[in-house]
A and B are shown apart, each in its own frame.
Chain A
Amino acid sequence: MIQYLPILILLLIAVGIAVGQIALSNFLGPKKPTPEKNAPYECGIIPAEDARKGVWVRFYLIGMLFILFDMETVFLYPWAVIYRRLGMFGLMEMAVFLAILLIGYVYAWKKGALTWD
């Protein structure tokens, strides 16, 4: 266990610096709040409306579909780099993977997940 001691010390120093800086500026810095200073910072523009509002439920559906096809890309890129070396087996494996994703796509389509409004 003793060989992990440097990691612990590093962890303590890192946390110490982070907490210390915030605490120091909190204790030492002058505080002259104005309504402008207390407003949330939006690139220097005066805030237009409350940021906490409802999100359209379809957003989650699109998010899930995005992850599905994002995953496809994540696997396709490394496969494409070495697909010659993987040979027939690699081709078939990728075909199976894409076929399963295609079924997911057909399912989402037929269920109306892609129909706008």
Chain B
Amino acid sequence: MEAIERMINLPSSSFQAIAPEIILVLGALFILVLDLFLTRERHHYLQYFSLAFIALAGWYTAQLWGDTGFHFYDMIIVDNFRLSIAYTILIAAGMTILMSGPYIKREEVDLGEYYCLTLLATVGMLFMAAAADLIMIFVSLETMSIGVYILAAFQRYRVASNEAGLKYLLIGSFATSFLLYGIALVYAATGHTDLDGISRFLTNNPPAGDKILYAGIAMLVVGFGFKVAAFPFHLWTPDVYEGAPTSITAFMAAGVKVAAFAAFARVFMSALHPVHDQWAPALYWLAILTMSLGNLVAVTQTNIKRLLAYSSIAHAGYLLIGITAGTSEAASAMVFYLAAYTLMTMGVFAVVIYLGHKGEPNLTLYDFAGLGYRYPLLGFAMVVLMMSLAGLPPTAGFMAKFYLFRAAIREDLVWLVVIAVLNSVVSVYYYLGILVRMFMNPPEEEGRALPAYVPVGVTLAVSIAGIILLGIFPTPWIDAAQRSVMVALGMR
């Protein structure tokens, strides 16, 4: 009886460790109820409230900054790595909601559940960054995924959207079972599910050819590889990205990937770091194949959403270099890269929303013809976004690649970096190909006036400002990123 009482009496302070998540859950429930009592004309209030809750969660995340510690029986970790990832996720969610307003009105899926599910999926993402236990990672991955499955199929009357949702659900559940089996095997080999315990066990008992452990690690790679869309677990990506509503595609490309990479990095760079020599070669080849496939296939794409899907696969390949290197410097470079990647992804999908029209007939590269002169501001935005995605200075994409590749060079992964740089050269071809169409081709037909979507414009402006800021003054941000991993991952 005594034991139970001690077990249940949690110190109330530990609720502060998950305050941002609690705020977002309350927000999601509030919006769900508010939606029932709002008239059609006041429907846009839901968007404002969602943004307010995200801002509040962001403010609370700032209050936690600098704290460290484990909470809820080592399930939740508070450290700056989690918090900087949480910021990136909240920015992705906020920008998604901001540009969703006019978009879901245009597509006639303006339902309150949209915001509710987006917030709940965001909660799952935040918990993934905060998880210090494999079970917690699994549960939060499911929370995130279920929300995103539904959101992918949100345009109920469009076949492509339904197809995207169903494909994502079926293949995603299959991949999650790999993750779960991997967790079970790692537990069988080490006797721990908490990351700290696994790391301590592996340090004290160096496993000599423990096949169960290695099978478990391989399954974990499959599970995470699916969520970050790494080769050869990427096959769902183009179809799902093309079929899902554009704002949700942005959310998947940025939010889901950031959260999955956060958990991926934490498991492999802290818990499994003692056996780094064993899994590094696998991720080395995975990185090479992922970025090469992403970039080479993207060259042949004409549909803009499919092109961006392959480009996001390529970026996952670059990020895998960071995990392969496995140092704290690489982890901080990944934090910076994920922030930069989120900004440019959000910006590019805001442009896609601008250019699309109702029902989303396939938006192809030909639709970009001549747009650069007709809409100079949009043209400028696309120039910045494409240069950043291709990794050209003076943009965030360049600095992100610079820090990541430098971290890899310091770990003697020279050939990996050479291949990555060659890949970047390939990517320049198709990114700048869009700009060529915008500025050097005549427009195909009499131009349609672009819709005056103020929130989408704001999203685009924020992303451009962020990209230029991170590209020209990267030092404070990379310093913050470095400080954020120093304590956190407990590495060299």
List residues of chain A with CB under 8 Å of any chain B CB. 82, 85-87, 89-90, 100, 103, 106-107, 110-111
Interface contact B8-A87, CB-CB below 8 Å: yes
Q: Specify which of B5, B29, B32, B36 is in contact with A87 (CB 8 Å cutoff).
A: B5
14 additional A-B residue pairs with CB within 8 Å, beyond A85-B4, A87-B9: A82-B4, A85-B1, A85-B8, A86-B8, A89-B8, A89-B9, A90-B8, A100-B29, A103-B32, A103-B33, A106-B33, A106-B36, A107-B32, A110-B36
Interface contact B1-A107, CB-CB below 8 Å: no
Bound-state Cα–Cα, A11 to B375, Å: 71
Interface size class of B (residues with CB under 8 A): 10 to 19
- Residues of chain A within 8 A (CB-CB) of B9 are 87, 89
Residue B10 is within 8 A (CB to CB) of chain A in the complex: yes
Bound-state Cα–Cα, A89 to B5, Å: 10
- Residues of chain A within 8 A (CB-CB) of B4 are 82, 85-86
- Residues of chain A within 8 A (CB-CB) of B10 are 89
Bound-state Cα–Cα, A35 to B29, Å: 59
Interface contact B8-A107, CB-CB below 8 Å: no
Interface contact A107-B36, CB-CB below 8 Å: yes
8 Å CB interface, B23-80 against A:
29, 32-33, 36
List residues of chain B with CB under 8 Å of any chain A CB. 1, 4-5, 8-10, 29, 32-33, 36
- A interface, over-half SS: helix
Bound-state Cα–Cα, A96 to B29, Å: 12
Which 3 A/B pairs are nearest by Cβ-Cβ distance? A110-B36, A103-B29, A86-B8
Bound-state Cα–Cα, A85 to B36, Å: 39
Bound-state Cα–Cα, A100 to B9, Å: 22
Bound-state Cα–Cα, A82 to B3, Å: 13
- Residues of chain B within 8 A (CB-CB) of A107 are 32-33, 36
Chain A proximity of B258: nearest CB distance (Å) = 27
Bound-state Cα–Cα, A106 to B32, Å: 10
Chain B proximity of A69: nearest CB distance (Å) = 18
22 A/B residue pairs, CB under 8 Å, sorted by A: A82-B4, A85-B1, A85-B4, A85-B5, A85-B8, A86-B4, A86-B8, A87-B5, A87-B8, A87-B9, A89-B8, A89-B9, A89-B10, A103-B29, A103-B32, A103-B33, A106-B33, A106-B36, A107-B32, A107-B36, A110-B36, A111-B36
Chain A proximity of B209: nearest CB distance (Å) = 13
Chain A proximity of B30: nearest CB distance (Å) = 9
Bound-state Cα–Cα, A86 to B5, Å: 6
- Residues of chain A within 8 A (CB-CB) of B8 are 85-87, 89-90
- Residues of chain B within 8 A (CB-CB) of A100 are 29
Chain A proximity of B49: nearest CB distance (Å) = 15
| CB closest residue in chain B, given A99 | B29
Bound-state Cα–Cα, A97 to B36, Å: 21
| CB closest residue in chain A, given B7 | A86
Chain A proximity of B146: nearest CB distance (Å) = 14
Bound-state Cα–Cα, A107 to B32, Å: 7
Bound-state Cα–Cα, A45 to B9, Å: 60
Chain A proximity of B6: nearest CB distance (Å) = 11
- Residues of chain A within 8 A (CB-CB) of B32 are 103, 107
- Residues of chain A within 8 A (CB-CB) of B29 are 100, 103
Chain A proximity of B301: nearest CB distance (Å) = 38
- Residues of chain B within 8 A (CB-CB) of A90 are 8
Bound-state Cα–Cα, A107 to B28, Å: 13
Bound-state Cα–Cα, A11 to B159, Å: 46
Chain B proximity of A86: nearest CB distance (Å) = 5
- Residues of chain A within 8 A (CB-CB) of B1 are 85
